Amino acid sequence: MKRAVVTGGSGALGAAICRSLAAAGLHVIVHGHARPERAGAVADEIRAAGGSAETVAFDVRDGAAAARALEDLVERGGPIQVIVNNAGVHRDAPLAGMSGAQWDEVVDVSLKGFFNVTRPLLLPMMATRWGRIVSVSSIVGLTGNRGQVNYAAAKAGLHGATKSLAIEVATRGVTVNAVAPGIIRSEATDAAVPDSVVETLVPMKRRGTPEEVASLVTYLVSDAAAYLSGQVISVNGAMA
């Protein structure tokens, strides 16, 4: 059974991805940091449904902690062949009033997190000559958005990392892609984006669901997507 690690697996989108991957037959390692109990609840739900799951906890911004946790997983169970870099945070503010801490936290979780999680797992994955790396970006990384210069920069950085890494590992049976969701239903998004804004911005006149994004991630990590690499695919209801 192939193993998948999903960072930020305790949130609405991360949990949907974990459930979808487990339903596809993968052993899912649900990562959490700020809310490890919620990661545990996701793993419990997967096991109750007949799937296979465990949890891991570390701060993706801490390279040493990430390496210790991930290398331990590899030592105990062999190479992890699926990585979903889903961890991310919002610290929105106009750039003129943005603090250095707001900039650093958003960029570090997305970009440093990508490096800290992917690098320790990459060589063992490549040795198997099969692997899938998917990073969860955002439509903001494609279009920009007022008050989210830090978030847009972080997600656009993921796009460049995705395309470059895809070239580096292309001969090893490893694909690297990014998924850029639009307005997806969650407690935070529902509170921040009124229905009137959704109706104006989204031609489909509705929010996407976490499950719709998770379905794309699950396809990208499947054997059927073996020739699809270096792409940024947006799930946005025709917004852009």
For 37, other C-beta atoms within 10 Å of its C-beta total 10
Average pLDDT of the chain is: 96
Residue 151 among the catalytic residues: yes
Token pair in block for residue 174: 């490893």
How many domains does the chain contain in total? Answer: 1
21 within domain boundaries:
yes
Output the pLDDT for position 35: 85
Active-site option among 58, 103, 114, 151? 151
Q: Could you give the percent of the chain with pLDDT greater than 70?
A: 100
Instruction: Give kind and range of the element (H or E) at residue 226.
Output: none
Rounded CA-CA distance 28/51 in Å is 9
DSSP track, 59-115: -TT-HHHHHHHHHHHHHHH----EEEE---------GGG--HHHHHHHHIIIIIHHH
| SS3 sequence of 124-161 | HHHHHCCEEEEEECCCHHHHCCCCCHHHHHHHHHHHHH
Rounded CA-CA distance 81/232 in Å is 20
Output the pLDDT for position 188: 76
240 within domain boundaries:
no
Q: Containing domain of residue 17, as a range?
A: 3-235
Instruction: Give kind and range of the element (H or E) at residue 19.
Output: helix 12-23
145 within domain boundaries:
yes
User: How many angstroms from the chain centroid is the CA of residue 104?
Assistant: 19
Closest CA to 111 of 132, 135, 83: 135
Rg (CA), the chain: 17
Q: Give the CATH number of the domain where residue 100 resides.
A: 3.40.50.720
Q: Do 137 and 180 contact (CB within 8 A), yes or no?
A: yes
- pLDDT per residue as tens digits for the range 51-107: 999 999 999 999 999 999 999 999 999 999 999 999 999 999 999 999 999 999 999
Instruction: Tell me the pLDDT of the chain (240 aa) as tens digits.
Output: 999 999 999 999 999 999 999 999 999 999 999 889 999 999 999 999 999 999 999 999 999 999 999 999 999 999 999 999 999 999 999 999 999 999 999 999 999 999 999 999 999 999 999 999 999 999 999 999 999 999 999 999 999 999 999 999 999 999 999 999 999 998 778 877 888 889 999 999 999 999 999 999 999 999 999 999 999 999 999 998
Q: Do 80 and 70 contact (CB within 8 A), yes or no?
A: yes
